[in-house]
Amino acid sequence: MPQLLSASESESLKLTSPLPLTLHPAAVYLDSLGKGSKLTMTNSLNTIASILTEGKCDALTLDWSKLRYRHTSIVRSVLEKRVLFKKGGFWVTQAGQRSPSFCLA
């Protein structure tokens, strides 16, 4: 996959120091979810963080406060290419895999 952000821009999205979980936006959001949604959303946030940093960050190591419209456009574009269409109640990915639920990974 081509590089989406420059190495320095990707690096700048990493947290420079850990935040307490009570102040970390992803942790606070995930903590507000029910048990069934928590795993799904954790995986989704990890996928977004990975896309933006070429696998160097996850939901808890990405500095979400640094994201701008440009970043969300990149994520949307990558995800649109991964999930092509829904057919017969299944999402069909670029790799031809079928899933009964929408998956970001």
What strands lie across the sheet with 90-93, from one edge to the other?
83-87, 90-93, 98-99
pLDDT at residue 86 tops 90 = no
Report d(CA 10, CA 102) in Å as an integer.
Answer: 26
Measure Cα distances from 6 to 9, 13, 32, 47, 76 in Å: 5, 11, 34, 19, 18
Question: For 46-64, what is each residue's pLDDT tens digit?
Answer: 999 999 999 999 999 999 9
pLDDT (0 to 100) of residue 80: 79
pLDDT (0 to 100) of residue 8: 85
Identity of residue 90: F
Measure Cα distances from 25 to 18, 45, 47, 78, 99 in Å: 12, 11, 16, 23, 29
Report d(CA 31, CA 72) in Å as an integer.
Answer: 23
